[in-house]
């Protein structure tokens, strides 16, 4: 009750986090997504791929049509890493 939870969601078309202002997906957003999709990593990657496409298009327009570099790292690589995956049942 004491601290209003602001959702870490992207602000379009800048793709910065509405809550913390970092490039989205920020760390809290990544954690929330990993929890939300913990049973379906494939669906998470599909979802992130769609967002990456959208972000790429929108950022490219802001950027004088240059496609921003490093989007795959920003949107996908962290979700593929399995380092912290518990070996669930
Ligand atoms: Zn954030």
**11 Cα–ligand 1 center, Å:** 10
**Domain edges within the chain:** 25-80
Quick one: pLDDT at residue 82? Answer: 62
Cα dihedral value 65, 66, 69, 72, nearest 10? 30
**5 Cα–ligand 1 center, Å:** 11
User: CA 86, CA 77: separation in Å to the nearest integer?
Assistant: 18
**39 Cα–ligand 1 center, Å:** 23
8, 32 contact by CB (below 8 A): yes
Cα dihedral value 71, 83, 37, 4, nearest 10? -80
**89 Cα–ligand 1 center, Å:** 31
**Among 56, 41, 43, residue whose Cα is nearest residue 10:** 56
**63 Cα–ligand 1 center, Å:** 22
- For every one of its 89 residues, what pLDDT tens digit does the chain have, with 9 covering 90 and above? 566 678 999 999 999 999 999 999 999 999 999 999 999 999 999 999 999 999 999 999 998 988 888 999 999 999 996 654 555 44
Which DSSP symbol is given to 16? E
């Amino acid at each position: 009750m004491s601290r209003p939870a602001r959702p870490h969601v992207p602000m379009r078309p800048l793709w910065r986090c509405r809550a913390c202002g970092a490039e989205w997906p920020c760390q809290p957003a990544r954690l929330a997504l990993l929890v939300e999709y913990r049973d379906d990593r494939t669906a998470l990657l599909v979802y992130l791929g769609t967002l990456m496409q959208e972000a790429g298009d929108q950022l490219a327009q802001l950027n004088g049509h240059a496609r921003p570099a490093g989007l795959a790292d920003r949107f996908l690589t962290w979700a593929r890493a399995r380092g912290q995956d518990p070996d669930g049942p």
